[in-house]
Structure 1
Amino acid sequence: MTETAAPAARDYSETLFLPVTDFPMRAGLPEKEPQILARWEKGDLYRRLREKAKGRPLFVLHDGPPYANGNLHIGHALNKILKDVITRAKQMDGFDSNYVPGWDCHGLPIEWKIEEQYRAAGKNKDEVPIVEFRQECRQFAEHWIGVQAAEFKRLGVTGDFADPYTTMAFRAEAVIAAELQKFAVSGQLYRGSKPVMWSVVEKTALAEAEVEYQDYQSDTIWVKFPVRNTLQISDYTSGTLLPAVKGPVFPARLTGASVVIWTTTPWTIPGNRAISFSSKIEYGLYEVTEAPEGNWAKAGDRLILADKLADEVLKQAKATAWERRAAVPAEVLAGLVCAHPLAALGYGFQVPLLDGDHVSDDAGTGFVHTAPGHGREDFEIWTHNARALAARGIDTAIPFTVDDDGFLTREAPGLEGRRVITDKGEKGDANGAVIAALIEAGALLARGRLKHQYPHSWRSKKPVIFRNTPQWFIHMDRDIAGAGDTLRARSLKAIGETTFYPPQGQNRLRGMIEAKPDWVVSRQRAWGVPIAVFRHRETGRLAPGPEFDRNDELIGRIRTAFEAEGADPWFTPEARERFLGGLVNDLDAWEKVTDILDVWFDSGSTHAFVLEKRPDLKWPADMYLEGSDQHRGWFHSSLIESCGTRGRAPYDSVLTHGFVMAEDGRKMSKSLGNIVAPQDVIKTSGADILRLWVVTSDYADDLRIGPEIMKTNAEAYRKMRNTLRWMLGTLAHHDPAAEVALADMPELERSMLHRLWEVGEAVREGYAGYDFKRVVNALMNFMVVDLSAYYFDIRKDALYCDPHSSVRRRAALTVVDRLFDAIVTWLAPMLPFTMEEAWTLRHGDPERSVHLELFRAPDAAWRDDALAARWARIRRVRRAITGALELERAAKRIGSSLEAAPVVHIADPDLLAAVAGIDLAEIAITSGVTVAAGEGPAAAIRIDEVAGVAVEPARAEGRKCARSWRITADVGSDPDYPDLTPRDAAAMREWEARRAAA
Structure 2
Amino acid sequence: MCADTPETVDYKSTLNLPKTDFPMRAGLPKREPEWLAQWEKIGVYDRLREKQDRTPFTLHDGPPYANGHLHIGHALNKTIKDMIVRSHQMMGFDARYIPGWDCHGLPIEWKIEEEYRKKGRNKDDVPINEFRAECRQFAAGWVDIQREEFKRLGVTGNWADPYLTMDFHAERVIAEEFMKFLMNGTLYQGSKPVMWSPVEQTALAEAEVEYHDKESFTIWVKFKVVGTGDATLDSAQVVIWTTTPWTIPSNKAVVYGEGISYGLYEVTGRPEESWVSIGDRYILSDAMAMEVFGRARLDETMVRRLCDVTQDDLAKIKLQHPLAGADGANGEWDDLRDFRAADFVTDTEGTGFVHCAPSHGMEEYELYRGLGMLQDVITYNVNDDGMFRADLPFFGGKFILNRKGKEGDANTAVINKLVEVGGLLARGKIKHSYPHSWRSKAPIIYRNTPQWFAAIDKPVGDGLDTFGKTIRERALTEIDNVNWVPKKGRNRLHSMMEARPDWVLSRQRAWGVPLTCFTKKGALPTDADFLLRNPEVNKRIVDAFEADGADVWYEDGAKERFLGGIVNPDDYNQVFDILDVWFDSGSTHAFVLRDRPDGTKDGIADVYMEGTDQHRGWFHSSLLQSVGTTGHAPYRNVVTHGFTLDAKGMKMSKSIGNTIVPEKIVQQYGADILRLWVAQTDYTADQRIGDEILKGVADSYRRLRNTMRYMLGSLKDFDKSKAVAAEDMPELERLILHKLAILDGVVREGYAKFDFQGVFRAVFEFATLDLSSFYFDIRKDALYCDGETTRKLAALTVLDHLYSRLTTWLAPILVFTMEEVWLERHGGENASVHLQDFPETPAEWRDDVLAARAEKVRAVRRVVTGALEEQRTAKVIGSSLEAAPTVYLAPEYAEVITNPETFADLCITSQITLTTGDAPEGAWTSDDVAGVAVVFAKAEGEKCARCWKVLPDVGTHAHPAVCKRCDDAVS
TM bracket, shorter-chain basis? over 0.9
- Deviating more after overlay: 736-745 vs 890-899: 890-899
**Shift of the alpha carbon at 1:540?**
4.5
Contact 1:262 1:365 in 2 (8 A): yes
Q: Aligned partners of 1:314, 1:720: CA distance in 2, in Å?
A: 69
Q: Give the residue type in structure 2 aligned to 1:326.
A: C
Q: Give the residue type in structure 2 aligned to 1:932.
A: T
CA 1:759–1:411: 2 relative to 1, 3 Å: farther
Deviation track 1:381-432 (CA, whole Å, cap 9, x = no partner) reads 1212235xx9xxxx61411111011111157433211111111101111111
Partner in structure 1 of residue 121 of structure 2: 123
Q: Give the residue type in structure 1 aligned to 2:578.
A: I
Aligned partner of 1:257 among 233, 236, 242: 236
Contact 1:297 1:318 in 2 (8 A): no
The alignment covers a number of residue pairs equal to: 954
Partner in structure 1 of residue 132 of structure 2: 134
SS in 2 for 1:212: strand
The aligned runs of 1:713-792 (5 Å cut-off) are 713-792=697-776
Q: Aligned partners of 1:278, 1:347: CA distance in 2, in Å?
A: 25
Q: Aligned partners of 2:918, 2:547: CA distance in 1, in Å?
A: 89
Deviation track 1:531-576 (CA, whole Å, cap 9, x = no partner) reads 0111112114799989746x22211111111111111111122111
Two-structure CA RMSD over aligned residues (Å): 1.8
Deviation track 1:174-233 (CA, whole Å, cap 9, x = no partner) reads 11011111111112111111111111111111111111111100000000111113xxxx
Contact 1:189 1:472 in 2 (8 A): yes
Q: Give the residue type in structure 2 aligned to 1:370.
A: C
The aligned runs of 1:206-605 (5 Å cut-off) are 206-229=204-227, 249-293=228-272, 295-320=274-299, 321-344=302-325, 345=329, 346-387=332-373, 396-409=376-389, 412-481=392-461, 485-540=469-524, 548=532, 551-585=534-568, 587-605=569-587
SS in 2 for 1:99: strand
Q: Is the aligned partner of 1:616 residue 2:598?
A: yes
Aligned partner of 1:181 among 179, 182, 189: 179
Q: Give the residue type in structure 2 aligned to 1:599.
A: V
Q: Give the residue type in structure 1 aligned to 2:286.
A: D
Contact 1:223 1:446 in 2 (8 A): yes
SS in 2 for 1:844: coil
Contact 2:16 2:785 in 1 (8 A): yes
**Shift of the alpha carbon at 1:935?**
5.2
CA 1:331–1:17: 2 relative to 1, 3 Å: farther
Partner in structure 2 of residue 679 of structure 1: 663
Contact 2:520 2:530 in 1 (8 A): no
**Shift of the alpha carbon at 1:328?**
1.7
Contact 2:73 2:643 in 1 (8 A): yes
Structure 2 segments unaligned to the other structure (5+ residues):
none
Contact 2:622 2:634 in 1 (8 A): yes
CA 1:836–1:86: 2 relative to 1, 3 Å: same
Q: Give the residue type in structure 1 aligned to 2:245.
A: P
Deviation track 1:790-836 (CA, whole Å, cap 9, x = no partner) reads 011110011111112x0000011111111111111111111111111
CA 1:448–1:548: 2 relative to 1, 3 Å: closer
**Shift of the alpha carbon at 1:856?**
1.9
Contact 1:306 1:366 in 2 (8 A): yes
**Shift of the alpha carbon at 1:650?**
0.7
- Deviating more after overlay: 835-844 vs 908-917: 908-917
Contact 2:188 2:525 in 1 (8 A): no
Q: Aligned partners of 1:554, 1:762: CA distance in 2, in Å?
A: 56
Contact 2:523 2:530 in 1 (8 A): no
Q: Is the aligned partner of 1:38 residue 2:22?
A: no
Partner in structure 2 of residue 922 of structure 1: 905
CA 1:654–1:872: 2 relative to 1, 3 Å: same
Partner in structure 2 of residue 842 of structure 1: 825
**Shift of the alpha carbon at 1:355?**
2.0
Q: Is the aligned partner of 1:965 residue 2:948?
A: yes
Deviation track 1:443-483 (CA, whole Å, cap 9, x = no partner) reads 10000000111111111111111111111111011122498
Contact 1:488 1:513 in 2 (8 A): yes
Q: Aligned partners of 2:920, 2:764: CA distance in 1, in Å?
A: 39
Partner in structure 2 of residue 237 of structure 1: none
Contact 1:59 1:96 in 2 (8 A): yes
Deviation track 1:256-304 (CA, whole Å, cap 9, x = no partner) reads 1111100000000011111122112211111111112362122111111
Q: Aligned partners of 1:252, 1:947: CA distance in 2, in Å?
A: 93
**Shift of the alpha carbon at 1:889?**
1.7
Q: Aligned partners of 1:117, 1:891: CA distance in 2, in Å?
A: 76
Q: Aligned partners of 1:422, 1:783: CA distance in 2, in Å?
A: 62
CA 1:886–1:484: 2 relative to 1, 3 Å: same
**Shift of the alpha carbon at 1:939?**
2.8
Contact 1:935 1:948 in 2 (8 A): no
**Shift of the alpha carbon at 1:762?**
1.4
- Deviating more after overlay: 938-947 vs 882-891: 938-947
SS in 2 for 1:98: strand
Q: Aligned partners of 2:149, 2:440: CA distance in 1, in Å?
A: 25
Q: Aligned partners of 1:95, 1:412: CA distance in 2, in Å?
A: 66
SS in 1 for 2:222: strand
Normalising by structure 2, what TM-score?
A: 0.96
Contact 2:715 2:800 in 1 (8 A): yes
Contact 1:69 1:144 in 2 (8 A): yes
Contact 1:186 1:545 in 2 (8 A): no
Q: Give the residue type in structure 2 aligned to 1:253.
A: T
CA 1:299–1:812: 2 relative to 1, 3 Å: same
**Shift of the alpha carbon at 1:18?**
1.1
Q: Aligned partners of 1:174, 1:579: CA distance in 2, in Å?
A: 14
Contact 2:358 2:377 in 1 (8 A): no
Q: Aligned partners of 1:616, 1:85: CA distance in 2, in Å?
A: 19
SS in 1 for 2:223: strand
Partner in structure 1 of residue 82 of structure 2: 84
Deviation track 1:867-909 (CA, whole Å, cap 9, x = no partner) reads 1111111111111111222222222221122111112223x32
Q: Give the residue type in structure 2 aligned to 1:691.
A: R
Q: Aligned partners of 2:467, 2:790: CA distance in 1, in Å?
A: 75
Contact 2:269 2:303 in 1 (8 A): yes
Q: Give the residue type in structure 1 aligned to 2:604.
A: P
Q: Aligned partners of 1:329, 1:376: CA distance in 2, in Å?
A: 28
**Shift of the alpha carbon at 1:514?**
0.9
Normalising by structure 1, what TM-score?
A: 0.94
Q: Aligned partners of 1:936, 1:820: CA distance in 2, in Å?
A: 43
CA 1:544–1:815: 2 relative to 1, 3 Å: farther
Q: Aligned partners of 1:370, 1:717: CA distance in 2, in Å?
A: 61
Deviation track 1:927-985 (CA, whole Å, cap 9, x = no partner) reads 111123245234333334333322222211111112111110012333x2222211112
**Shift of the alpha carbon at 1:324?**
1.4
Q: Aligned partners of 1:545, 1:897: CA distance in 2, in Å?
A: 93
Q: Aligned partners of 2:261, 2:53: CA distance in 1, in Å?
A: 71
